[in-house]
Amino acid sequence: MTRDDLITLNEARALLARAVAKTEALRQSGCFVVADLSGEPVAVRRMDATGGAALDIVRGKALGAALLSEASSSFAARVLKFPPQIFAAYQQLMRGQAFPGAGAVPLLRGKTAIGAISSGVRIGPFVKLPGVSPEDLLVDGQPANLEDLIISYAVGGPYRPEHGDDMARWKEAYGAEPDASLKGHGLREVPPAMLQPVLDSAMALADRVIARATAQGDAVTVVVADRYGHVLTIDRMDGAPPAAVKLAEGVALAAASLQTRSADLAGARPPIPADVLRSIGRHLLPLAGGSPIFFNGQCIGAVGVAGRDPERAQRLADEAALAR
């Protein structure tokens, strides 16, 4: 039995492009994840000026919302009523670490759950932002908080609050309810983001890998990381296995952290001891598929590629890194 529950990479990218655009228009930055029902990301975008730990938190929200087909706020409200050992059991039994905090909602196609979208880090339930008109945080005259507004805008639906009483939050911030004459334009369309040079460069690099893989008939996951091994983008092509996400991350981290091709680490003789690798990074993988990116003699990041053929993945990563 089959059902139409697959999110395409193009669909995921379109959602995240809207989230990034709205966030930039509101003079903020953050990280966004679209995951499918595997709980693994289909696409990730970390905006410039967003901390490196962002993905781990935002990913944890998306995982719970995707696997449980419920908003992360609902999951959080439920588990926080239970003894700590109940939540610990959730964490042990689920395939990843679910983060019990608002900021992720299920994605639906009709009435069918197809995954989740999540946001976070530097994006919270704020109703007052420096340099931003209060009208930009009103929808039909009612207060909207930043995080829920961005997600609602990204999916193109009505405003959906997930962080409690927006009016109480508004009165605390401004001292009174919004002026009744103001309808606001929180969900007004904004132009595409234009002020994300690092993110744009990472996306362009991923595009080169995807174009080359498509020409070869491959389906891969591409991860682009910064010089510290923090993920900037993830793109999982249609048909690529969900497990390829963690593999591509692991080889990108290896290439960035050690500034060498991950295939060379895989073939090191003698092999690098496992405890040495763990001391560098718990997700580091000495397998083929990762290549560091150099500019003016300095390592500025890495690209990791994973699919069904590790040797092809390494070639794709090498070509992308050299073509920068």
Give the CA distances from residue 129 to residues 50, 123, 174, in Å, rounded to whole numbers and listed in that order: 17, 11, 11
Per residue in 57-94, pLDDT (tens digit) is 999 999 989 988 888 888 878 877 777 777 777 777 77
Per residue in 245-275, pLDDT (tens digit) is 999 999 999 999 999 999 998 877 666 766 6
Q: Is the dihedral of CA 275, 280, 282, 286 positive or negative?
A: negative
pLDDT of residue 92: 75
270 cis-preceded (ω within 30 degrees of 0): yes
Q: Hey, which residues does 107 pair with through a beta bridge?
A: 115
Q: What is the 3-state secondary structure (H, E, C) of 25-75?
A: HCCCCCEEEEEECCCCEEEEEECCCCCCCHHHHHHHHHHHHHHHCCCHHHH
CA distance 65 to 7: 15
Residue 284 pLDDT > 80, yes or no? Answer: yes
Fold of the domain spanning 197-322: Beta-Lactamase (3.30.450)
Q: Percent of the chain having pLDDT more than 70? A: 96
Residue 118 pLDDT > 70, yes or no? Answer: yes
Query: Could you give the angle at the alpha carbon of 58 between the alpha carbons of 53 and 62, nearest 5°?
Result: 150
Q: Which pLDDT band holds residue 1 (cuts at 50, 70, 90)?
A: very low
* Joined tokens for residue 132: 């931003």
CA distance 65 to 83: 21
CA distance 93 to 97: 9
The CATH number for 9-174, chosen from 3.20.20.70, 3.30.450.150, 1.10.10.10, 2.60.40.650, is: 3.30.450.150
Cβ contacts of residue 93 below 8 Å, gap of 6+?
Answer: none
Residue 95 DSSP label: S
pLDDT of residue 106: 94
Residue 1 three-state SS = coil
Query: Region 99-123: what's the mean pLDDT?
Result: 89
Residue 138 pLDDT > 70, yes or no? Answer: yes
pLDDT of residue 143: 96
The residue ranges of every structural domain in the chain are 9-174, 197-322
> Does the fold of domain 197-322 match that of domain 9-174?
yes
* Joined tokens for residue 266: 């895989």
Average pLDDT of every residue of the chain: 90
